[in-house]
Amino acid sequence: MEAPLISDEPSAKFLNLLLIDNVITDYQTLVDSVNESTLTIVYSYSMTKTELISEINKNFTTITRVGIICHSNGTEITTFLDNQPFFLDSETSPYSENLQFLIDAIKEFNVKNIDFLACNTLNYSNWKNNYEILTKETGVTVGASDDPTGNIKYGGDWIMENTNEDIENIYFKSNIQYYKYLFAVFTISGLSINLIALNGQTNKFALGGGTTSATTVNAAVINANRAVVTSPTSDTSITIPEKVMSGVTEYTVTVVNAASFANVFTTTLSLKFLTQITLPDTVTAIGDKAFQYLVSLKKINIPTSLPNLQPSCFLGCTSLTEVTGGTQVASIFESAFSGCTSLTSCEVISSTKLASVGVAAFLNCPLVTINFMSTSTNLNLGATSFLNTKISSLIIPSSVNFINSGAFGGCTNLTQVTFENPKRLPIGTTYTSAPFDNGTSTAPLIAYYNYGVVNPTLLTSTGGFADIRTKTGGRYNSQ
């Protein structure tokens, strides 16, 4: 395993040890915020008990106080060392390995206090039972919380309610105020997912990381790139609910934040088989790179309330074959579906509100149909937005305002483009390549346009069309 992250040695003697679970969002801010009396060790679930004790022995013979920052999600016990839980639901002597490890370590280092900086654990009988075991076996004072733990500025606090202690100044300096997250999670199909404070607004949350704003109090945000698989799962699909519970609080899911599921297949192996994600219509924002390179994903629905798809949100999803919904999407930003090499159709393109398709948005997607709605207004198509698709024919409605360089370049099956009653051809005046180009195809590319078109010469090889076979204007026929 990778070496644990240990804080720089301060000038004063260490009194306290702070253990931080490496799935905690922005744990580096916590590491940077400890006071001179506290040593931090960032641990992972694959870390062994021997490795942790070895690091502790380098710095301590006795420890006054130990704090453990980890996630909690109700009745499930969080994983600790050796990929095993802190404790079991029903502990009897002889105790489970990690519980016995804690008991032995508390005795060995004469620990007086141990604080569990995790949200709401005092609300759950299994956590409380194991706190009682620690006290009974060692005499240690256990501190824990019955509400969100984390920065008070963002809706939490540092109070250990059972001991009535504010432990903020015990472990941290004043710059802990810059930490803006809470140590709370909820579970979906075996995933423990962070609840994250949104834009510093108390009781406003988003699902993931980033700066997307929300107006609904108690809204939730998914952060799957910090996801922890809490139980072995063979699930191939997950459904994100409209509302989730964290402790005793209910949150409405409104945001899937930037990079939430991005590259998750490389870091969370049990998710590499995830083929389908269903999002609720309460979601109003999906961040950039949200599902980037989730290579097993085959199906996704786009919520009806979603106004846009951020850059690279499905970039490189090579198994994606079905995208449904998205009837209110106005903008598909650059590279949104670039490299989705199995995607043959996408309902979002037919949104009645679609106003822009960004650069390379569907680059190298084998789309066989592209249906723009004539009700869209001032639709702009970015450069290479549909480069190398597999369409054979295309209708450009009058709502299309601009078609940029190479928008439909390399479409080797494309033989017919029809313009619907435009007053002018919706093609730019300067290009690095033609907006329409069927590449190596030997079939002539023919454009049909109705009477009233201004400057059909814009469809010449230096303006709108290029094809290696003809390069002449004879291919363009008015109806």
**What local confidence, expressed as pLDDT, does residue 331 receive?**
94
CA atoms within 13 A on the CB side of 260: 31
**What local confidence, expressed as pLDDT, does residue 146 receive?**
85
3-state class of 448 per DSSP?
strand
Angle at 41 (CA atoms; ends 199, 230), nearest 5 degrees: 65
**What local confidence, expressed as pLDDT, does residue 469 receive?**
38
What are the angstrom distances between the C-alpha of 188 and each of 228, 255, 273, 297, 302?
A: 11, 15, 15, 17, 19
Answer yes or no: are the C-beta atoms of 257 and 210 closer than 8 Å.
yes
Q: Which residue, among 39, 32, 36, has the nearest Cα to 60 in the 3D structure? A: 39
What Rg do the C-alpha atoms of the chain give, in angstroms? 28
**What local confidence, expressed as pLDDT, does residue 436 receive?**
75
**What local confidence, expressed as pLDDT, does residue 473 receive?**
34
Q: What is the pLDDT along the chain (479 residues), one digit of tens a residue?
A: 455 666 655 444 899 999 998 878 778 889 999 999 999 999 988 899 999 999 999 999 999 999 999 877 656 677 899 988 888 888 888 999 999 999 999 999 999 999 999 888 888 888 999 999 999 999 999 999 987 788 776 667 889 999 999 999 999 998 887 777 677 666 665 555 655 544 433 333 334 433 333 333 345 555 554 444 444 445 577 778 787 665 556 667 788 877 777 765 444 444 566 788 888 898 888 888 888 888 888 999 999 989 999 999 999 999 999 999 999 999 999 999 999 999 999 999 999 899 999 999 999 999 999 999 877 778 889 989 999 999 988 888 878 878 887 888 888 888 787 777 555 455 554 444 567 766 666 666 666 655 444 444 445 444 455 443 333 333 344 44
**What local confidence, expressed as pLDDT, does residue 187 receive?**
62
**What local confidence, expressed as pLDDT, does residue 361 receive?**
96
Question: d(Cα 329, Cα 338) in Å, to the nearest integer?
Answer: 17
Give the H/E segment covering residue 141.
strand 141-143
Question: d(Cα 468, Cα 453) in Å, to the nearest integer?
Answer: 25
CA atoms within 13 A on the CB side of 3: 5
Answer yes or no: are the C-beta atoms of 303 and 281 closer than 8 Å.
yes
**What local confidence, expressed as pLDDT, does residue 233 receive?**
47
